[in-house]
Structure 1
Amino acid sequence: MIYIDLENNPPSQDWIDRADIVTQELVDAVDSVLRNQIIDANQPLWNELKNHLSSLNNDKCWYTESINSGAHCHVDHFRPKKEVIDENGVKTEGYWWLAFDWMNYRFSGPAANVRKRSYFHVNANRALNYADNLNLEDILFLDPIKFRDPEELAFDNEGIVRPKATNKTLRNYKRARYSIIRLNLNSPSLIDKRKDKYRNAVILLMRINKKLDLQSIVFDQAREIEIETDMRQLWLMCSKNSEFSASVKYCLKSSGFDWAKEIVEKAA
């Protein structure tokens, strides 16, 4: 998961205008049965934004950073549109008024979206009505459009993602753990791919650092070119266009090498 600047990348005004009309129909509907019928009838509207959302992260799932065939990816409603299931299994009416709100959409691969479904736990201040303030909600899910949320995840050389916080009583630990489970971030296929990326990064880190030590003793122009090539490879792996760049960045930042941290900064 990496930060996605959705707010500054809106869809066309034409799409927004059409979505607003449908939202008003939902507001005017007399009951949930009619609202669900309106939502189902207008599903093609949010699917129109699949390519737009995909382009904001180089076709990568916003939750897992994996690249999937566009046909298999989903426009996920971050806050579920029809029903909400909390961690106690209690079902309540969904955020129907956000069904056609583009700020509620996340581009998701199947591994994450199928597992997420209608789960959305709110610790406090659950918004139940159209006029309720969503910003007051204390939610468990980490959100890729929140600037600080992706930083709550950590990675290891086995490809496993875990909470960065180690104290299990902390709110940040609970949010990260909930997101890892509900978004299926440790599915076997994702673990294998992250493991490969992480280990390749470690190999490059060690190789570069050894050559930098040698350069400090005796400068060699050929070796300098090799260092430049390897550093550029790490920079590409950290790029937001690269699959699983978050795990590579975490690897570099936790290496203890200042030059590795500089690569992460350049890739930002």
Structure 2
Amino acid sequence: MLKVAERAQQTLESLMPNRRKAFIEQKAHIWRAFGRHLAKMSYGKCWYSESNDPQSFFDVDHFRPKKEAKRAEGVADDGYPWLAFSWENFRYSAGRSNRLNTDDATAAVLGKGSWFPLLEGSVRANWTNRCEDKESAVLLDPTNRDDVGLIEINSEDGRATPSVTCVGQAKQERAKRSIEIYGLNLGNLITARKRVMRDLQDDYLTLMEICSAGTDMAAVSRLQNKFRRATLPSAPYSRAARAKMHSLPYGPKFCAQPEDEPEALA
């Protein structure tokens, strides 16, 4: 698979500019072939939204768009065709985060599509100056730990918001625009997060009652394992689960630790 991508890249490099887009379109099977491997890395969850909805279609998204990059309304350029076959530019994405779609509740058009705005004053990479590592991207990158930390889930209403450490105008802009473009506050996502958090809170209250009564310690163990499973990175909406647990007295002590593995809690 990597060899196929490398050969396609070599051919792309030799083409005249007016033939590049057509060639990239003909080779969509190359990045799609990476999908199952990318899904395995995230336990089948969308890298942007944490959704694992089995009824959703999933894409291999090009974080930096391969054929057109939309910088603002009515402003676009040729994007990053040299990254069309680069596995480091691939992100596993649910369709509603990746493709343009309409939020039924607000009628707003969401989805990444070809969006890739840059912060004001940023350099802009192009075919002859491939300086993408020097760009100041607006969209948060789910493979960048610092970027991920700029968004958190509200433990009460299930909405994605800029985190407490998201300080400064540029970071606030990045977090807010990413939440909007990735559709992180679509109604169905909020509902799914709230369901996870409600179930955890109910189980937590049950655990506290059992502990107070000093009975059924087997149930205590089962509930503790349930909390750990819900807060493992492999769990759907684990960030919402952790937000809820951290909002409860003693809740953080029941969260999964780095050494916990999914198979250990099966």
TM-score range (shorter-chain normalised) is: 0.7 to 0.9
Query: Which residue of structure 1 lines up, in the alignment, with residue 134 of structure 2?
Result: 136
SS in 2 for 1:74: strand
Q: How many residues align?
A: 246
Give 5+ residue unaligned stretches, structure 1: 1-14
Q: CA RMSD in A?
A: 2.3
Query: Which residue of structure 2 lines up, in the alignment, with residue 148 of structure 1?
Result: 146
**Mapped partners of 2:118, 2:151: distance in 1:** 20
SS in 1 for 2:161: strand
Q: Displacement of 1:176 after TM fit?
A: 1.3
Q: Displacement of 1:240 after TM fit?
A: 2.0
Query: Which residue of structure 1 lines up, in the alignment, with residue 98 of structure 2?
Result: 113
Query: Which residue of structure 2 lines up, in the alignment, with residue 28 of structure 1?
Result: 14
Instruction: Write out per-residue CA displacement over residues 66-101 of structure 1, whole angstroms, 9 at most, x where no aligned residue.
Output: 113488211101100001111343111110000000
**Mapped partners of 1:29, 1:85: distance in 2:** 24
Q: Mapping of 1:117-266 within 5 angstroms?
A: 117-123=113-119, 124-129=122-127, 131-156=129-154, 157-165=156-164, 169-209=168-208, 211-212=210-211, 214=212, 220=214, 222-255=215-248, 257=250, 260-261=252-253, 263-266=255-258
**Mapped partners of 2:127, 2:43: distance in 1:** 35
Instruction: Write out per-residue CA displacement over residues 189-242 of structure 1, whole angstroms, 9 at most, x where no aligned residue.
Output: 111111101122222334434555x37xxxx3x343332221111111112221
| Alignment check: 8 A CA contact 2:229 2:235 kept | yes
**Mapped partners of 1:71, 1:192: distance in 2:** 16
SS in 2 for 1:117: coil
| TM-score, with structure 1 as normaliser | 0.83
| Alignment check: 8 A CA contact 1:253 1:264 kept | no
**Mapped partners of 2:253, 2:171: distance in 1:** 24
| Alignment check: 8 A CA contact 1:50 1:74 kept | yes
Greater RCO, 1 or 2 (C-alpha within 8 Å, sep 6+):
1
| TM-score, with structure 2 as normaliser | 0.84
Query: Which residue of structure 2 lines up, in the alignment, with residue 12 of structure 1?
Result: none
Give aligned-pair identity as a percent.
26
Residue identity in the other structure for 1:263:
C
Q: Which has the higher helix share?
A: 1
| Alignment check: 8 A CA contact 1:76 1:108 kept | yes
Alignment CA distance shift 1:49-1:27 (3 Å): same
Q: Displacement of 1:153 after TM fit?
A: 1.5
- Judge which range, 58-67 or 74-83, deviates more: 58-67
| Alignment check: 8 A CA contact 2:224 2:254 kept | no
Query: Which residue of structure 2 lines up, in the alignment, with residue 6 of structure 1?
Result: none
Alignment CA distance shift 1:49-1:173 (3 Å): same
